[in-house]
Structure 1
Amino acid sequence: MMRDVMSNNKYPQEFKDEAVRQVVDKGYSVPDVAKRLGISDKSLYYWVKKTKVPAKKSAEQEEIRKLKAELKRVTEERNILKEAAAFFASESRKDTRS
């Protein structure tokens, strides 16, 4: 019966966030924080991993967004230069025929 009560135990999000902060921001080890707070190492490792993954993905997504914007700008610049080169080449041919 006691096992059922423990498996259904839900920690408030604020509690999880503070536990993760102690590991990530303050540099305490997971086993130390888990022992102090009376939770399992496994739970705390999971919470830390869970909070790091979205941040990494969002940073990568931001980098991809910036790179796509830069690629678009550089492609447009290249196309303008190609058109200008073609224009001046045709003008140059006209001048030599006269």
Structure 2
Amino acid sequence: MPQESIRVRVSLFGSLRALAPNPDDAVLDVTLPLGSTAAQLGIAIGLPAHAEVIVGINGNQAELHSILHHADRVVLFNALSGGRAQAPAP
């Protein structure tokens, strides 16, 4: 019988830890339908639709449209912004 679902482990960092039942150990095992994307994982764990996140899958940077596979290890970070503004020309 073909596999109809996958199970992934997701680690949450930054303010995303609040999505975990226990923010002190923000690692979740999530079951999803076969063919699910990282974006669908986000929906499943309650990630706000407007959230800007950085996705890693099995140690590699990925995108929200990346397809997940059984036993993948996913990390989600808040996207950071900032840095030094460019100084005006003299």
Same fold (TM over 0.5): no
Question: Whose helix proportion is higher, 1 or 2?
Answer: 1
Which has more radius of gyration?
A: 1
**TM-score normalised to structure 2 length:** 0.26
**TM-score normalised to structure 1 length:** 0.24
Higher relative contact order (CA 8 A, sep 6+): 2
Question: Whose strand proportion is higher, 1 or 2?
Answer: 2
